[in-house]
Chains A and B, each alone.
Chain A
Amino acid sequence: MKRYFGRKTIIYLSTFFLAVTVDWAIPRLMPGDPIMNLLSRVSVRAEASEAMYGYYTKAFGLDIPVWKQYINFWIALFHGDLGTSVYLFPQKVVDVIIMAVPYSIALLVPAILLSFYTGNKFGAFAARTKILDNTLLPVGYLLTAAPYMWLGILLAWSLGIVVGIFPTAGAYDFNMAPSFSWPFIFSLIKHWFLPFLSLFLVQFGGWAIGMRNMIIYELESDYSHYLESLGAPRSLIRKYAYRNALLPQITGLALQLGVIVAGSLVTEVVFSYPGLGSLILSAIQNKDYFLIQGCFLFIIIGVLIANFFIDIAYVIIDPRTRLGMAGE
């Protein structure tokens, strides 16, 4: 057990190191210059502009050799300093991210957990129920194949514009100021619903179809047939089959996490939802190295932590992984 988690920790640490390095390098490989971008928004005379360019380059630490920038970046990172945003100058990157993260989490966590739970339950229920299998699962295929933003646009158009029940942009009404009051909370939920629904539906389809195929395989396995021969009721056989079919789904969840985060990015852009997604989009458009780095760092940490929890969950659920560890 100790060895297993020791090895896992090393794997996670090296993944973290590599991912963060890539995260640092990618924005710097983009064409263009963040300082030029910043200066282009203020109109000053040419010579003043040159002086300001020199000043800002120094201020952001972009005047030193690249390898030194890289080392400085790690040192700052261990001090919890992600730098200052170029685009939202002079706000600190950490502060900008902290403002956006609650919105992203409020979208992602319920969408992931609810779709995983209901999708699996529904898939298991639909398997071997002829009518559901023939009618609703094709819908599941359609949902899971739908790109997040396409479904988002479709929902915004149908429920937002045609029917007009839900707002299509923002996190709360523009004429409201954030406060802890019922109207504000109601407005939050109303704005949250459509982006949540588009994330939920796409993933729901995927889980339902995966579970349907897995549980049919389990219901056809030898242990299910043996239980049938011993006259076990359908509910018991289904219970065992569901539990065993869930194991590969949990692995799938770990693999899906990264994709889901990306899905939430485009969804946030579609609905102008002020989470990490919209932030990353503006950061990229403005070539804001530090903000891009910070946002992706947050995603990297999130995905790694989620994967770590899934690893632990797997050990608890599947005795075979536990025994494999003891046998090492």
Chain B
Amino acid sequence: MSLQIKNLVVYYQTLRGYVKALDDVTFSISDGEIMGLAGESGCGKTTLGNSLIRLEPPMKYIKGDVELDNEKLPVWNSSQMNAFRFKKISIIPQYAMNALNPTIKIGKMISELLSSRKFNYKKIKPELERRLDLVELTHDVLNMYPIELSGGMKQRMVLVLSTLLDPSLLIADEITSALDVSTQKAVAEMLVEFRNRKFVKSMIVITHDISILYQIADSILVMYAGKLAEKASTNVIVNTPRHPYTKLLISSLPKVGVRYTEKKLSGIPGNTPLLLDPPAGCRFRDRCPVAFDRCFEEPPFVEIEKDHYIACWKECTEND
């Protein structure tokens, strides 16, 4: 097991109380696995990604354990986390296009960053250049300022920089969102390539674009309103999902061969609950077509088949 998260609870502190953005999250990722993390905006995807690497106020750690390669991550302590960041766990942030300091040459920035982490830039540089070749960037970018690069180039630069020390886990947060479809595909393939070349052991790819995940992910974890809904292999999630939310999410994607001028693409009626004071029990209850009495209790996230986890009373009770 590469990453193991047990009962992780992370809230946002606000003047009106805690926003329960990440509630009781338990899952694991095996070595070499690319796990897609899907869900609508505000469901806690980015919070989950951030809480594994940079848990800063207003985020507040409540409880839970995170283990990476059988080593406990002190996610609640920023200074202790520094030892793990970049070397063991790394991130391509959502804002990758603005992630580089605009007033310093990229190569100089990397060299200063590496020497501040006690690495020798000269020794690492040949490997850095090999990886730039791999993502089709010229070595000249090291002598350029970030503003001289296009958005896609910056994203690839950040991909190379974040994975430079061969971390065990890479969190890629919405890295395809701002790109056109062909570039999206190229970036997605680069992620797989980096995994295959063992630059990173396993990955969490955060996105709301399930079609990208279908191309690259081994498994998909679906979140809803700060809670886990379903986790299974990509094929199962896309073809035979069990959780009502996943079913509706997948069915609201356009399908090849269907003309939507004749048939309207259906969405999921209703809105996500406010996480400042979410309803007790299943948070999807109000929008769920199959909700029943039991849904007022909290559904556990249980394994119903091998590697298929789900948090839904309907599906569990039917199985019993």
Contacts and interface: CB of A to CB of B under 8 A. Distances in A.
Interface of A: 221-223, 225-233, 235-236, 240, 243-244, 247, 317-320, 323
B90 A323 contact: no
A127 to B, nearest CB: 16
26 contacts: A221-B98, A222-B93, A223-B100, A225-B54, A225-B99, A226-B100, A226-B158, A229-B54, A229-B91, A230-B85, A230-B113, A230-B117, A230-B162, A231-B85, A232-B116, A236-B113, A240-B101, A243-B103, A244-B103, A247-B103, A317-B103, A318-B103, A319-B102, A320-B102, A323-B145, A323-B147
B90 to A, nearest CB: 7
Contact of B113 (A232, A244, A247): A232
B116 to A, nearest CB: 5
Nearest to B94: A222
Contacts of B101: 223, 227, 240, 244
Contact of A244 (B86, B91, B100, B102): B102
Contacts of A236: 112-113, 116
B288 to A, nearest CB: 36
B82 interface: yes
Contacts of A247: 103
B258 to A, nearest CB: 40
Contacts of A244: 101-103
B82 A231 contact: yes
A222 B53 contact: no
Contacts of A323: 145, 147-148
Given A319-B147, A323-B147, A233 B116 contact: yes
Main secondary structure of the interface of B (DSSP, over half): loop
Nearest to B104: A240
A223 B53 contact: no
Nearest to B81: A231
Interface string B59-77: 0000000000000000000
B131 to A, nearest CB: 16
A243 B86 CA distance: 24
A232 B103 contact: no
Centre residue among A225, A235, A243, A323 by max chain B CB count within 10 A: A225
Main secondary structure of the interface of A (DSSP, over half): helix
Nearest to B171: A229
B93 A232 contact: no
B296 interface: no
Contacts of A317: 103
Given A226-B99, A227-B101, A235-B116, 8 more contacts: A222-B95, A222-B98, A223-B100, A225-B54, A229-B53, A229-B91, A231-B87, A320-B102
A222 B169 CA distance: 21
B83 interface: yes
A326 to B, nearest CB: 10
Contact of B117 (A222, A232, A240, A318): A232
Interface string B118-149: 00000000000000000000000000010110
A235 B86 CA distance: 17
A320 B53 contact: no
A319 B112 contact: no
Nearest to B117: A231
A290 B95 CA distance: 61
A235 B117 CA distance: 12
B241 to A, nearest CB: 33
Contact of B103 (A230, A231, A235, A319): A319
B98 A229 contact: no
A230 B86 contact: yes
Nearest to A247: B103
Contacts of B100: 223, 226
Contacts of B93: 222, 225-226, 229
A270 B255 CA distance: 82
Contacts of B90: 229-230
Nearest to A320: B147
Interface string B142-169: 0001011000000000100110000000
Given A231-B86, A319-B103, A320-B103, A223 B145 contact: no
Centre residue among A228, A229, A236, A317 by max chain B CB count within 10 A: A229
A236 B86 CA distance: 15
